[in-house]
Every structure is written in C-alpha cells, then in structure tokens.
Amino acid sequence: MDLPSYTPDNSPVPDGIIVIERASTPQELGPRLNRTAADVVRFLMQQGEMVTATQSLSDDMIELFVAEIGAEIRLVNPGEEQEVELQKVLGVAELDDEEEEGATTRAPVITVMGHVDHGKTKLLDRIRDANVVAGEAGGITQHIGAYQVVKGGRPITFIDTPGHEAFTAMRARGADATDIVVLVVAADDGVMPQTVEAIDHARAADVPIVVAVNKIDRDNADPDKVLAQLADRGLVPESWGGDTIVCQISALQGIGIDELLENLLVVAELEDLRANPDGRAKGVVLEAKLDAGRGPVATVLVQRGTLKVGDPLVAGPAWGRVRALINDKGEQVKQAGPSAPVQVLGLSDVATAGDDFVVARDERSAAKVSEQREHYRRLASISGSASALGGGAKLEDIFSQIQAGEAATLNLIIKADVTGSLEAVTASLKKLERDEVKLSFVREGVGGILKSDIELAMASNATIIGFNVRPDRQVRDFAAAEDVEIRTYEVIYHLLEDIENAMVGMLAPEFEEVVTGEAEVREIFSVPRVGKIAGCYVTNGQITRGSKVRFLREGTIIWKGAIQSLRRFKDDVREVNTGFE
C-alpha cells in the first residue's frame, strides 16, 4: 500500500528546547511538537518503522522525527520532565549564571577513599585530632563524615567515605561532591578490590588523585610493591616519572601528615577552585537522619552561595526554614559559605543522601516544589509496594519453599538510622537475589521500628530488618503476639551473611538477644574524676551489674556498653528490680 508522503506543516514549534520523556508514544509526542499522533506514525512508517499510536518509541525514533521537523529537544527519563519544571520554579538556572560573575577562591573539598581497614578514618583522626574509629560498629565506618580543618591559615574540607564494598553508592556520592581524592592504600596490604573501585569513582568524577601510602611503620610494609600496583592501574608516581603525587605516611605515628596537607593545598591551587559566596546557597546532601530530639537532620555541603539560618531550603522532597546550622565541631553557626559542611535542622522530612539542595526564592515556591516531588515519589513507590502485598515468605520459610521447587519472594521492611546506611543495605541485599529467591522491599525508612511497621509486616508477610535501630518493649511485645520476625544488626557483614544463609537454607540462629530489663533515664549527674552517671528508674524486668546495655532515643541506638557500677542510694547492689531507682 502506498502511503501518502509526509510533509511537515509550517505550524511553529514552541520556542526554546522542548523536554520530552523517553519511551513516549506518538500520542504523547505529537502534541508536544504541535503535530498529531498520525503525523508521527506516518513519518516513521515511511522510514520503515511499523509503529502504532500507543506504542512506546525508542530514543532513535523520537530523534529521527524531531530532526525532520527541525525542533530542539531534551530527552529525559520518565518523571524527570516535571523535575525540569520544578528547577525553573526554584530559579536554579539563575544561580548558575550568578556563579560565573562573582566567583572567588574557595576551600578544596577532599574525599578520603580506599579499602576497608586501610586507615582512612585514622588518617582523618590524626588530621583533626579526634577519635571517630572507637565509635564505629565493628571498627568500620558506615556513614559519611565531613570535617573542616585549617592548614597554614587556609581551610580544607574533608569527606570520609566508608570503604566496605556495600557502601559503593555512598562512596560514589563522596567522589561526586569532591575536588580532590586522597586514595589511602595500606603499605602492608597493597591495592585491594575497593581501592580499584575508588580509583574508578575518582576517574568517573574526573578529579585529581593524591595517593597516601599508609602504615609505613609496620614491619611487613612494602611501599615499593604498592607503587608498582598503582602504576599498573595507571597511577604512576612522580618519583617514577609519572604525575601522581604519592605521600608515605603513618596515621598511627603521625608521620608525613604535614607533607600530605601541603601537597593537597598545592593541587588545590593548580585546580583554581572558585565559587560565588553571595546570594542563595546551593549544594548537596551528604547524609540525613531522624533525630528524636531535633527532628530530621541533614548533613549538607554548601557548593555556592551562603546558607543562613532562616533560609527556605528545599532538599529533594523535604523543605523547611533553616532553624539551626551546626558545624563539624558541634557548634551552632549563623551561616555557612562555599565548601563548608554543616548539619541543617528544620526540614519537614528526612532528605535522601545525594539529593541536591537549594535555597528557594520564598517559602511558597519551596513548599510547592517539595509537595510535587513528594507526590511523584509516592506514585513511584505505590507500584512497588502494591506488588509486594499479597504474596511472600518469611525468612525461616524460604528454604522449604525452594526445596519444594517453588520460586519464593522474600518480603522485607528495612529500617536504618540514616539514609546513607539505608541505601547501602538495600543495594547490597538486591545483589543477593537469585532465580529461585526474589527480594521485595515493602518499606524502606529511617528511624526506629514502629507499630505501623509491624502492621505492614503482618499485611505483607514481611520480615523486618533493623540496621542500627531497635524496637521498644511495646513494639517487641506486639511483634511477638502477631508472630512478626524482627532481626536487628549493627554491622552490615552480619546482616548480609544471615540473609544469604537463609537463601541457601543454612540459617541457624547462633545468638538470641534476651532483654532482661528496661530503665528510663530520669537525670544525669556529673561526678569529678568519674564522669557522667545516669540516674534511672527501672520500668521492666531487672537491671544487673555487668549486663550489656544500650541507650535508645526514639528507637535509634545512641550509646552501647556495659554497666560498670550499680547503686541504690549509697549502697552498691548486684541487681535492681522493676519500680526501683
């Protein structure tokens, strides 16, 4: 059948660039370009593409039609089109124009990367003379920390990223927000899988790499072997005629730290890092969590402008007027300029780590953008959770289903203390999927395990996984009564091990956590040469001397250790029962 030849009519194409969603149908594409669906179908048929008006088009087909009518378009993923409009409401393009005009020199943002246990956090400790390592579960960093130090009167911002492979997404974000990467490699261990991954992230972000060969004080240290391994990866040291700066250090002994900082400042000078400190602030969310006393808290890195208390801020679907800014030393500040990491209080919701943030023109536009983003996010999640409801097996039933030759779906509700951990846990679990066992995430959230999580687990036959969070007694009792399984973890290796073992039918609980008692802190006393003492009231069970104890605030662990001393009034006692102080 001869098709009538297609001639584009002369109706004007809208001014400027038109935003088109990928996989649009001719019915959707035509009107966006002042054409009909029939025009699109007819043209593509002439090019040998047999399509219908309701069929999704490939990028090539869309570009072919657009080239024919001479329009300019920008292809975006589904849902992104609205984001482009929201960016206009926030006036992000204006900020980019202002950036060019008033840029001045800013502090370099340096990300410390490398394999797990190669000494990244120890190096930062030495630089800022603090002790973070002791507070990390299992001795591994599981959050992004951001700190600012001053060397020779010049500020330098450091971002510490976790080295464990599960935190690839967090590490990728670290590289994204950074100017220079410090790659820490242990002299006694050499280049490892996460070292290679860190190099790839740094190269993808197109930032210079400075190598710190750590642990040179160890007896079995072999820095030359490390240099050879790095050269194989394309990082040829300056001493070998290459262009990679390599510093030999010992974070433990404090050797070579000054030389490393001086080299970083030299690289920063060559990079000529600039930002406009005036006007509305814009930057990236490094980490976010729900704090019981302070509400949603976001750790942000300001990339341009100055963030001030009282600014209407939008970060992903969260927004709010900045109630307080807290710097890396825990002090309240009135404002934060380019390259400064600060915690922001006052947001309506927990932002997602990696979200861009921007100060809006006014509260109305901030609220509008936040509402729209939340709406689109909810639509995306509805389809995911709807498919999870209805079917699914619990952790302990998985193996019997596999043995029966059935394909099993393991429904999970994941709760974590901060968004970075939540993302890392979810991404790691997805990698464990196999043909016979699919994972379905019914809910992923930040904060303690609540009654609503138990109700959802009942409805969807899901197992609840808590990472660095714990349920309180009422929630535990409710879960036990309704036969809902709650598994809590503090180290990501143990979590992944358990789920993987369940999938291959080897799950055997080795430890069972027994809660012997609960108490409420009524007052804190400071005693010279002893420190802080908690005055408590026992609400349930009994408290015994030497027991392991956790302090929870709204379900999130804020401290853990053992009871060293137990007293009733002035007497030393072995145990204290319910109803006593």
Cβ atoms within 10 A of the Cβ of 314, count?
27
Side-chain-facing half-sphere of 239: CA atoms under 13 Å? 9
Nearest to 60 by CA among 82, 16, 51, 35: 51
Domain of 50, in residue numbers: 18-78
Whether the CA torsion 316, 317, 320, 323 is positive or negative: it is negative
Nearest to 276 by CA among 110, 97, 85, 66: 97
Q: Do 370 and 379 form a contact (C-beta atoms < 8 A)? A: no
DSSP element (H, E) containing 267: helix 257-271
* Same domain, yes or no: 254 and 126: yes
Total domains in the fold of the chain? 4
List the CATH number of the domain containing 539: 2.40.30.10
* Same domain, yes or no: 397 and 535: no
Where does 420-578 show beta strands of DSSP type E?
437-446, 463-467, 486-489, 517-527, 531-544, 548-553, 556-562, 567-568, 571-572, 575-577
Round to whole Å and give the CA distance between 304 and 309: 16
In a domain, 314, yes or no: no
In what side-by-side order are the strands of the sheet with 437-446?
Answer: 437-446, 408-416, 463-467, 486-489
* Same domain, yes or no: 415 and 562: no
pLDDT of residue 402: 56
pLDDT in tens, the chain (581 residues): 444 444 444 444 445 788 887 778 899 899 889 999 999 999 999 988 888 888 888 888 898 999 988 888 888 766 565 666 666 666 666 666 665 666 788 889 988 888 877 888 888 888 877 444 455 555 444 455 788 888 878 888 888 766 544 455 555 555 567 888 899 999 888 888 778 878 877 777 778 899 999 988 888 888 888 889 888 888 888 888 888 888 988 888 888 888 899 899 999 988 888 888 888 888 888 888 887 778 888 889 998 889 999 998 988 888 889 999 988 878 889 999 888 889 999 888 888 777 888 888 888 888 888 887 877 766 555 444 444 444 445 555 555 555 555 556 788 889 988 888 888 888 888 888 777 677 888 888 888 888 878 887 887 778 899 998 888 888 888 888 888 889 889 888 888 888 887 776 644 455 567 888 889 999 888 888 888 888 999 988 889 888 889 888 877 788 888 888 898 888 888 889 888 88
* Same domain, yes or no: 267 and 129: yes
pLDDT of residue 140: 46
* Same domain, yes or no: 205 and 129: yes
DSSP element (H, E) containing 455: helix 451-460
* Same domain, yes or no: 148 and 33: no
pLDDT of residue 384: 45
* Same domain, yes or no: 138 and 254: yes
* Same domain, yes or no: 258 and 154: yes
In a domain, 522, yes or no: yes
In a domain, 322, yes or no: no
* Same domain, yes or no: 431 and 542: no
pLDDT of residue 130: 47
DSSP letter for 565, please: -
List the CATH number of the domain containing 491: 3.40.50.10050
Q: Do 213 and 226 form a contact (C-beta atoms < 8 A)? A: yes
In a domain, 573, yes or no: yes
pLDDT of residue 253: 84
pLDDT of residue 4: 46
pLDDT of residue 386: 42
Round to whole Å and give the CA distance between 381 and 358: 24
Query: What b/e sequence results for 500-529 when a residue is b if at least 16 CB atoms lie within 10 Å of its CB, and e otherwise?
Result: bebbeeebeeeeeeeeebbbeeeeeeeeee
Round to whole Å and give the CA distance between 283 and 302: 5
String of DSSP letters for 399-412: HHHHHTT--EEEEE
pLDDT of residue 65: 92
